[in-house]
Amino acid sequence: MFTYTLRRLLFAIPTLLIISFVIFALLDLAPNDPTGDLPLTIPPEVREQIRASLGLDQPFFFRYLYWLQQFFINEPLNILERLTGWQFGDGNRMRVLSWATRSPVVDLIVQRLPQTLWVVGLAYLFGVMIAVPIGVISAYKQYSIFDQIGTFLSMVGYSVPTFFTGVLLVVIFSSYLQWFPSVYDTNLVVNDFSSFVQQIKQMALPVTVLSLFNASQITRFVRASMLDNLHQDYVRTARAKGVKEKSVLLIHVLRNSLIPVVTVIALGVPTIFSGAIITEQIFRVNGLGQLLIIAVQGADIPLVQTLTFIFAVLIVLFNLIADVLYGILDPRIRYD
Amino acid sequence: MKNLKLLLAGTVAALAFAGSAAYAARGTDGDLKILFWQAVSTMNPYLSGGTKEVYASSMVIEPLARYDEKGELVPTLVTEIPTVENGGVAKDLMSMTWKIKPGVKWSDGTPFTADDVIFTWKYCIAPDGGCAQAAQYEGVKSVEAPDPQTVKITFTEPKPYPYSAFVGAQSPVIQKKQFENCVGAKAPGCTSANFGPIGTGPFVVKEFKPNDVITLTANTNYRDAAKPAFATVTLKGGGDAASAARAVLETGEYDYAWNMQVEPEILAKMVAAGKGKLETAFGTQVERINLNHYNADPSLGAKRSTKEAGPHPSLSDPAVRRALSLAIDRSIIVEAGYGAAGKATCNIVPAPDAVASTKNDSWCLKQDLAAANKLLDDAGWKKGPDGIRAKNGVKLSYLYSTSTNSVRQATQELVKDMWSQIGVGAELRNASASVFFGGDPASPDTFQKFYADVEMYTNNFDGTDPEKYLAEWLCDKVPGPANGWQGQNIPRYCNPAYDKLVGELSKTAELDKRATLAKQLNDMLTEEGAHIPLVHRGSVSSHSLKLAGVKMNAWDSELWNVADWSRAK
């Protein structure tokens, strides 16, 4: 198992390098321009100077190598310096700078990460917590009323896009009933009970929207996997032995059914980091998804490049984790 | 004379403000919540020319003088506006002198001096800095300080309208002490200074979260001890225009929201909730359709829309250009897409009133299909079996491009329908705004390349003087491969008589004569069909009924008088 993991990790290095190059090339080929959003009153000569000051007058390969150096050498050194207090060189390394804010991209990401983890991560957690019991009961009582309603709801949750449910909830609960705020207050500091309630209130709508979406997806997997197992011979054996129905279901069947579900959940973790772009935008949660969409709109190439690349790293990593987990959970699977 | 009046008006206004301040005190009205649906990226307008950055920073850093809601100059950090009459502007128009108000302090308590003004100029013109507002300092030869309270600006050539450097929200003064080590290529590295500039304005940056939210507190060193009324400002960014409007007009969570680019009927419904109102101000923005004077036939390949391609086969006919304008019902376009935020116009310079012409309103403002049809008939353009007019094998069928935006696409449909009634066909196309306005010379979809017969967008000019703007239609400003597609004469209009008149404008100092010349130039462009002006666009913002003192301004930052805003009692 260990050598397998090591091999996979080594393989990941060229994969990621290729991915970074593809992202960089794609972004470079895109006809977006960082000065495209500026008022037309800014004359073309000035725009040319702005582009030059962003380094856009350099050749493509030079810019790519420069980014590699900034991302793989300068930024890690910087993080190390900050963590340990050691000093490498004169400390005057060029960091990856966002074009729109002219501030280090990594700082922006660090600032955004907590909100995304809280809102999107919590929604993922809730989604799983709702999905597993519903999936189990749906499968156990296949074609019952509960199953029908569950299937219907998960189909609705799966097919109705979040930009619709999000706005719908805002119209009902913020505009009409005025129970929850429609704008996420990112300056809120939780230090007493009332601010805690405030935080819960402002997280309620985005978390609901995303939980619904996540739960619908995972429920389908749990149900299908449970159904697969319920008709297996070992279940019949267990029942014939006189094992209590509760144990049959929750110990024998559920455990085995969760193996593929765990993989699916692990594969979905990177999407937490990439944030729910649309939902974050609707509720103005200052997470990574919103950061990405603003960067794309403003042609802030270094920020898009870095964010996309970090997502790529997470996807590669969690694919590996899912594979390893699968091997650990299911003794029949061995990689070596 | 005019400037004297302007000064008087400014004084009266200042007195009026002083009167109202008698019963207000600094920081007594709590938190002011502002919503910008495009989030602010930096507080340094010299590093980002975006409107949102310019507006946000105007609460913190100030220019020497700014425009009020009527488009008149008012002194902010100086005692008066220099003019030729009061001796502030030299008789030969080669220099001007600003007198700084005594006792003005930066928010850190240090005195504001002429040195800071000089530094600001040096900061922006430094090579490799990529200063977004460099155009404001164009033609400035030197900035000097005869004494700490006096700033003397010398120009490279006579400047009939000298109010550009240090005037308006685009060129505020920054503190020398703070930015001293951030000049040129080092500018982007000074993150904390760029996010929290020290200023003379009513508010100070407390915390800046880029692309998200800015927290500001009242400046304890602000020159008016009774202002600002609000103790703090929270400027939240992100989302979309419709939900921003909802947060002010329906849920009442915010006091002020900027740039309500929302369909008029949706806005009307939100206003009906009774929590807020809309404010509109008309500046110089005009939505226009540019008519390509060069041939844009795709078969010409890289040569299209350049001089080598030759004149446009049909749009070079003045009768066609006039007919295309006559066929358009501007009032329908305004009603459908702009509501209170638009007025039908036939001018490319629609404001200020002094330079707005009315000469062509009689024939141009009203749709006249009969006249348009007759013009085309007389010019020999005959309708074919498909209903499209043609002459010698040239069809009146146009590729019509614009940027992606729901209002623009709706306008395209309307215009296409109107043109079909005079036998003119149109194929509609749109490109993402960041591509269309991006100016990438490698992209075929930019508005500068104009690989289309007609294209539609909005442009305007800063401040109130149109000279630089009208110079965009000079023959030598035509974009093409030779200048990297960088010219501003997008319609490729070229008329030596026009060029001569612009030359005259640049040498004229008297305001009345300048206005007459500007009107003449504007009329020339409309009459000769360089373009078809459609809608004079206003800026619309919304504010809560609980907010008092908002004076919507299209000539400067919308937040120009935020120091006077207060909580409605």
pLDDT tens, residue by residue, B460-507: 998 889 999 999 999 999 998 888 888 889 999 999 999 999 999 988
HEC-encoded secondary structure of B1-32: CHHHHHHHHHHHHHHHHHHHHHHCCCCCCCEE
Measure the CA–CA gap between A24 and B354, rounded to whole angstroms: 51
Contact check, Cβ <8 Å, A100/B41: yes
Measure the CA–CA gap between B249 and B242, rounded to whole angstroms: 10
For A321, the 3-state DSSP assignment is: helix
Residues of A in contact with B134 (CB under 8 A): 45-46, 49
Contact check, Cβ <8 Å, A36/B213: no
Q: Using the predicted structure, report yes or no on whether residue B125 has a pLDDT greater than 90.
A: yes
Q: Chain centroid to CA B159: how far?
A: 21
Name the token pair of B433: 């705004």
Measure the CA–CA gap between B294 and B305, rounded to whole angstroms: 5
Of A46, A103, A282, the CB nearest to B210: A103
Least confident of B259-263, B346-350, B493-497: B259-263
Which domains does chain A carry? 1-336 (1.10.3720.10)
Residues of B in contact with A39 (CB under 8 A): 49-51, 460
Tell me whether strands B425-431 and B397-403 are parallel, antiparallel or unpaired.
parallel
**Residue B62 CB neighbours (<10 A):** 25
What mean pLDDT, rounded, does chain B reach? 90
Measure the CA–CA gap between B123 and B134, rounded to whole angstroms: 10
Q: Using the predicted structure, report yes or no on whether residue A33 has a pLDDT greater than 60.
A: yes
Q: Using the predicted structure, report yes or no on whether residue B438 has a pLDDT greater than 50.
A: yes
Instruction: Give the per-residue pLDDT at B263.
Output: 84
Contact check, Cβ <8 Å, A111/B209: yes
Instruction: Give the per-residue pLDDT at B243.
Output: 87
Q: Using the predicted structure, report yes or no on whether residue A335 has a pLDDT greater than 80.
A: no
Average pLDDT over residues B132-145: 93
Q: Using the predicted structure, report yes or no on whether residue B5 has a pLDDT greater than 70.
A: no
Q: Using the predicted structure, report yes or no on whether residue A207 has a pLDDT greater than 60.
A: yes
Q: Using the predicted structure, report yes or no on whether residue A76 has a pLDDT greater than 60.
A: yes
DSSP A251: I
Contact check, Cβ <8 Å, B437/A37: yes
Q: Using the predicted structure, report yes or no on whether residue B53 has a pLDDT greater than 70.
A: yes
Average pLDDT over residues B438-464: 89
Q: How far is A105 from chain B (nearest CA, A)?
A: 11
Comparing alpha-carbon positions, the chain B residue that sits nearest to A292 is B211
Instruction: Give the per-residue pLDDT at B24.
Output: 61
Contact check, Cβ <8 Å, A281/B437: no
Those residues with Cβ within 8 angstroms of residue B66's Cβ, 6 or more apart along the chain or in another chain: B73, B74, B76, B167, B168, B169, B556, B557, B560
Those residues with Cβ within 8 angstroms of residue B257's Cβ, 6 or more apart along the chain or in another chain: B34, B35, B36, B37, B244, B245, B247, B248, B541, B542, B543
Closest to B515 (Cα-Cα) out of B523, B10, A8, B212: B523
pLDDT tens, residue by residue, B498-552: 999 999 998 888 889 999 999 999 999 999 999 999 999 999 999 999 999 999 9
Instruction: Give the per-residue pLDDT at B11.
Output: 46
Instruction: Give the per-residue pLDDT at A275.
Output: 63
Residues of B in contact with A97 (CB under 8 A): 188
pLDDT tens, residue by residue, B276-308: 999 999 999 999 999 999 999 999 888 899 989
Q: Is the dihedral of CA A302, A304, A309, A310 positive or negative?
A: positive
Of A104, A175, A294, the CB nearest to B39: A294
User: Omega before A104 cis (within 30°)?
Assistant: no
Of B39, B42, B132, the CB nearest to A42: B132
Q: How many CA atoms lie within 13 A of B130 on its CB side?
A: 23
Q: Using the predicted structure, report yes or no on whether residue A201 has a pLDDT greater than 80.
A: yes
Residues of A in contact with B131 (CB under 8 A): 46, 49
Contact indicator for B285, B459 with CB cutoff of 8 Å: yes
Of B187, B209, B439, the CB nearest to A35: B439
Name the token pair of B136: 């404001």
Contact check, Cβ <8 Å, A101/B442: no
pLDDT tens, residue by residue, A9-29: 999 999 999 999 999 999 988
Measure the CA–CA gap between B279 and B257, rounded to whole angstroms: 10
Average pLDDT over residues B249-267: 89
Contact indicator for A157, A215 with CB cutoff of 8 Å: yes
Q: Using the predicted structure, report yes or no on whether residue B32 has a pLDDT greater than 60.
A: yes
Instruction: Give the per-residue pLDDT at A336.
Output: 64
Those residues with Cβ within 8 angstroms of residue A104's Cβ, 6 or more apart along the chain or in another chain: A95, A96, A97, A98, B191
- Model confidence band, residue A281 (pLDDT cutoffs 50, 70, 90): confident
Q: Using the predicted structure, report yes or no on whether residue B12 has a pLDDT greater than 50.
A: no
Q: Using the predicted structure, report yes or no on whether residue A91 has a pLDDT greater than 80.
A: no
The residue among B47, B212, B459 with the most chain A CBs within 10 A of its CB, best to mutate, is: B212
Residues of A in contact with B234 (CB under 8 A): 187
Q: Using the predicted structure, report yes or no on whether residue B14 has a pLDDT greater than 50.
A: no
Contact check, Cβ <8 Å, A103/B42: yes
Q: Where are the alpha helices (DSSP H) in A54-192?
A: 60-69, 75-84, 105-116, 122-140, 145-159, 162-169
Closest to B46 (Cα-Cα) out of A42, A33, A302: A42
Q: Using the predicted structure, report yes or no on whether residue A295 has a pLDDT greater than 50.
A: yes
Q: Using the predicted structure, report yes or no on whether residue B412 has a pLDDT greater than 50.
A: yes
Residues of B in contact with A111 (CB under 8 A): 209-210
pLDDT tens, residue by residue, B353-376: 889 999 999 999 999 999 999 999
Closest to B33 (Cα-Cα) out of B281, B244, B341: B244
Contact check, Cβ <8 Å, B130/A98: no
Tell me whether strands B232-237 and B31-36 are parallel, antiparallel or unpaired.
parallel
Comparing alpha-carbon positions, the chain A residue that sits nearest to B253 is A181
ipTM over 0.85: no
pLDDT tens, residue by residue, A161-172: 888 988 899 889
Residues of B in contact with A43 (CB under 8 A): 135, 488
